[in-house]
Every structure is written in C-alpha cells, then in structure tokens.
Amino acid sequence: MSDNEVPARIPVTIIPGDGIGPEVVASARAIVDAVGAPIEWQEAEAGAEVFKRGVASGVPQETMDSIASTRVALKGPLETPVGFGEKSANVTLRKLYETYANVRPVREMPGVTTPYSGRGIDMVMVRENVEDLYAGIEYMQTPGVAQALKLISVKGSEKIARFAFEYARSEGRPTVACATKANIMKLSEGTLKRVFESVAPDYPDIESWHVIVDNAAHQLVKRPEQYDVIVTTNMNGDILSDLSSALIGGLGFAPSANIGNEVAIFEAVHGSAPKYAGKDVINPTAVILSSVLMLRYLGLFDQASAIEHAVFVTLESGTLTGDVMGYDRGTPTTAYTEAIIGNLGKKTENWTVREVKPLELPVLSADPDYVKPTERNVVGLDVFVESPLSADELGFSLTELAQGTRLELKMISSRGTKVYPPTGAITDTLDHWRCRFIIRENPGDLWDEDVHQLLARISRRHTWMHIEKLMEFDGELGFTRDQGEN
C-alpha cells in the first residue's frame, strides 16, 4: 500500500457472508493467522440476515462504521433474498466507499486440468467498479419499454485507466489492453477509449492497445496468453472476468479486490452457493487468494507470497477440492485448509510467484466539474414521447404543435432508428419515440421558457416522459445521431 512502516497490528473488517461464506472466510482467516500476518480482525455482518431484519441495503450501520474505521475488509459472498431488500449488498459495499477498481487475477493453477493447461495463462482483469449500467438507474418509460442509464465519466475513466497502468507496474507486467464497445457507443464506451489513449503516454514502459470488447472475448478463448492486464468498463468487466476464470478451472479459483483511494474490500468472485453450505466440500481458494491480494495491499509482501507458495505446493501435491475432483472424491474444505497451513514455508519449484511492488494509486482532482469546457451551446431538445400513433401521424402532430415556438421538429426515431421523415427503412416501432427538435435560429440561446412552451404544447395531445438538451462542448457534439439521421 505504501512504503510506510507497517503497524504492529492492522485492523481488518471481516464479513463471513452467506451460504458457503462462513466456511471459505474461516479458511482464509486461519491461513492468514497461521502465516503470522499481524491482522486484528473485526467481525461484522451483511447480507441475507440483515435484509430480513428490515435493513434495505443489507449493510447495517455497525458494519459501515467498522469499514470506515479499518479501511480494509475481507468478506464472503452475500445474497439478496427474494422478497427482502432492493439493491445488491455486494454492490452497495463497493459503491459506498468508492472502490472504483475491481481487480480479478486469472492464472493457470497446478493440478487443475483444463483445455488451456500448459498455455501459461496469467492475466489481470481491471474492471471499473462504480459507473456504467451498474449505477442502477432505470425507468419504465412506457408500460412496454424500459430504460437504463449508462453513465461513463471522464474522471472515472481516468482513474481506472491510470490504476490499470499502475497495477501493471506493481506486478512487472509489460502490457495493458483496453476493451470497450466504442465502435457502437461512441460517447459512453468511447470515453474510456479516449481517456485510456490520452494517459498511455505517461507510461512509456508499458505497451498498450485498444480492442473491441467482443474481439477481446474472442481472443480470450482463442489465445488468452497474449494478455497481461485488460482494463474495461463495468458491465464488460463483469462478463469478461467470469469468462476468463472459466479458462483456469472456474470461480473457485477466482479472487478479487475492490480498491479505492480510501478503502479496499477483498472477496471471491463466486456467489454464496447455498446448496453446498455446511457440507465441508467447497473450494476456499478464491477467498484465500483474495486474502493474498489483501496482504499485498497492506504491504505484507512476505506473508502474501508465503501463502501463494503454499497454495501452489498443495495443489501440486494433488490435494484438490470437490469442484475439481467431484464432490464425492474431493478433499474437504477443512482438510484442504489444514494442508495449506502445513505447507507454509515451502516453495513451489514449477510455478511463478510474482515479486510485487507497492501499488501507487492515482490521485485526481476532487472537483465535481472535472471537465471544464471553454464553450458550450444548446442546439436543440430531445423529447421522449409515449404515443400509439404511427410515426407519420406523430410527426404531423408534433410539427403542428411546434409552430410558433423557437423549436422545430427535425426527426423522430424508434429504438435508435430514424422513422420520420420516412427514409424507406423497414423497422418495427413501439409506443416509445425520441422526437428531436432543433432551434430555428441562434443555437446556444435556448431558454427554459422555450422548453416549457414546447412541452406545454406537446402535452395537449401527447404524453412525454423525458427530455434531453442537445449540447455542444467546445464545438463537439454532445449527443449521437440516430441510424438514418444526417
């Protein structure tokens, strides 16, 4: 975490979690204690039982206070029971403490045979952790059309891009690839691509490139060993990291870290798997390796490496859990844990344990208005309308209603395709329309009174549910055109 002297005892919040959580967390805790790490555990709770007590977030105040104090947490998987709570408690914890970087290492494991064995897979997925569709802002705009807001910021993109480069440096990794869908979502996904490419020159020691995310998925299956670090947006990272963990034996071997500039939370990628709870059969490796990430974050590099060596030695010996061997033949969770503890101090001869340096976290301006344009103009207004009319009927009506205002109807689209004025395209339409109005003269001078006047007129005949001002920033369009729009 830093080059500062490590304190005698380091407080860490520990959350056992739900389902198999208490078993795998107990395993990791026992191994961390056995290696002599100076951790002072503060046990806290979150998840199913908390939801059932009526805490809508699934995270009680006592747990939030503990994390705010320790600034570090090791947690088991949490579930959101059906009928209780609203948001995922896992996501709540990540977002409450601005743990903007989700780090998911993926590497081949000894003794775990997969179609990719021997290929040398050893990569890290760095996923933006608080923005994108995971902001969870959704609306039913009409009874049959749902909307989700995909929020990607320049500031969030710069933090995750710089984090990825810094993480590569800390582990001596020579390359970083950025995976986005910027070819389609040019403003949102395109923001990460542009920011990534703008900060890359600050890291001349690291080779970098951009890859379209669907090609990244293709390449991960075809030639995964080409990647060291992949940085991507939240939804893309969720999907790609689960794909990549399957290449090396499954989620039982998939650790993760949620890291922010103030707080870090460490957990397995897998869920609570309630059907295996209490049976002493589950693979705790993911949480054990998550604790290794935690120890390195805390600057306890020797203890972290000792645990990683012991895990590899244990796997090399053929001590494997039920997810690998079959649950009727696998080593029990407790016996697997005892084997790793027994192998502490031994070193693998065949598997690399990286020498890791302290991670330098990016520090950016705290200004909310992170991007400060020198010029901005308003050129029009998008009004989202619910109507059972045809595109032509709606277009004629809105054109008439806009007469006498400073705005005129330019076009109407349905699901991103221009349908009025007609282009000859064949497209299915719904009762959800984006109606684009442009200023008749003097763009940049759209007053609220102009907006109110137009909406009042539209409301005489139609139902509108949402508006967006069409902005230009420093001469660049701040909105996209629809398919077929010129």
* CATH top class, domain 10-342: alpha beta
Q: Which two tokens stand for residue 318?
A: 């053929």
Q: Which CATH number fits domain 376-477: 1.25.40.20, 2.60.40.10, 3.30.70.1570, 3.40.50.720?
A: 3.30.70.1570
Backbone angles phi, psi at 328, to 5 degrees: -90, -10
How confident is the model over 64-83, as a mean pLDDT? 89
Q: Is the pLDDT of residue 270 over 80?
A: yes
Closest of 462, 460, 415, 467 to residue 437, by C-alpha: 467
Query: How many other β-carbons are positioned within 10 Å of the β-carbon of residue 71?
Result: 17
Contact 281, 333 (CB under 8 A): yes
The active-site residue out of 155, 181, 193, 418 is: 181
Contact 160, 191 (CB under 8 A): no
In DSSP terms, 11 is beta-bridged to 40
Query: How many whole angstroms separate alpha carbon 348 and alpha carbon 216?
Result: 32
Angle at 11 between CA 6 and CA 17, to 5 degrees: 135
Query: How many whole angstroms separate alpha carbon 306 and alpha carbon 343?
Result: 9
Beta-carbon contacts of 351 under 8 Å, excluding residues fewer than 6 positions away, are 110, 312, 316
Query: How many whole angstroms separate alpha carbon 24 and alpha carbon 239?
Result: 24
Question: Residue 482 in 3-state DSSP?
Answer: coil
With cut-offs at 50, 70 and 90, classify the pLDDT of residue 6.
low
DSSP H/E element including 239: helix 234-246
Q: Is 327 marked active-site?
A: no
DSSP H/E element including 220: helix 213-222
The active-site residue out of 65, 214, 302, 445 is: 214
Angle at 57 between CA 102 and CA 26, to 5 degrees: 60
How confident is the model over 70-83, as a mean pLDDT? 87
In DSSP terms, 382 is beta-bridged to 436, 468
Q: Is 181 marked active-site?
A: yes
With cut-offs at 50, 70 and 90, classify the pLDDT of residue 1.
very low
Question: Residue 473 in 3-state DSSP?
Answer: strand
The active-site residue out of 97, 134, 227, 297 is: 134
DSSP H/E element including 179: strand 175-180
Contact 353, 295 (CB under 8 A): no
Q: How far apart are the first and last CA of the chain?
A: 52
pLDDT tens by residue, 400-417: 999 999 999 999 999 999
| Whole-prediction pTM | 0.93
Query: How many other β-carbons are positioned within 10 Å of the β-carbon of residue 32?
Result: 25
Q: What is the pLDDT of residue 56?
A: 84
Contact 286, 270 (CB under 8 A): yes
Q: Is 134 marked active-site?
A: yes
pLDDT tens by residue, 369-399: 999 999 999 999 999 999 999 999 999 999 9
With cut-offs at 50, 70 and 90, classify the pLDDT of residue 82.
low
Burial (CB count <10 Å: 0-12, 13-18, 19+), residue 355:
exposed
Q: Is 238 marked active-site?
A: yes
Contact 222, 234 (CB under 8 A): no
Contact 52, 83 (CB under 8 A): no
Which residue in the block uniquely carries the two structure tokens 């009004």?
A: 383
Contact 192, 155 (CB under 8 A): no
Which range among 53-57, 231-235, 256-260, 454-458 shows the weakest confidence by mean pLDDT? Answer: 53-57
pLDDT tens by residue, 249-260: 999 999 999 999
With cut-offs at 50, 70 and 90, classify the pLDDT of residue 10.
very high
Contact 381, 454 (CB under 8 A): yes
Angle at 464 between CA 460 and CA 468, to 5 degrees: 125
Q: Is the pLDDT of residue 155 over 50?
A: yes
Query: How many other β-carbons are positioned within 10 Å of the β-carbon of residue 421?
Result: 14
DSSP state, residue 319 = -
Q: How do the domains of the chain map onto residue ranges? A: 10-342, 376-477
b/e code 291-330 from CB counts within 10 Å (16+ = b):
bbbbbbbbbbeebbbbbbbbbbbbbbeebbbbbbeeeeeb
In DSSP terms, 439 is beta-bridged to 407
Residue % of the chain over a pLDDT of 90: 85
Backbone angles phi, psi at 123, to 5 degrees: -140, 170
pLDDT tens by residue, 100-142: 999 999 999 999 999 999 999 999 999 999 999 988 899 999 9
Query: How many whole angstroms separate alpha carbon 120 and alpha carbon 130?
Result: 31
The active-site residue out of 18, 132, 228, 238 is: 238
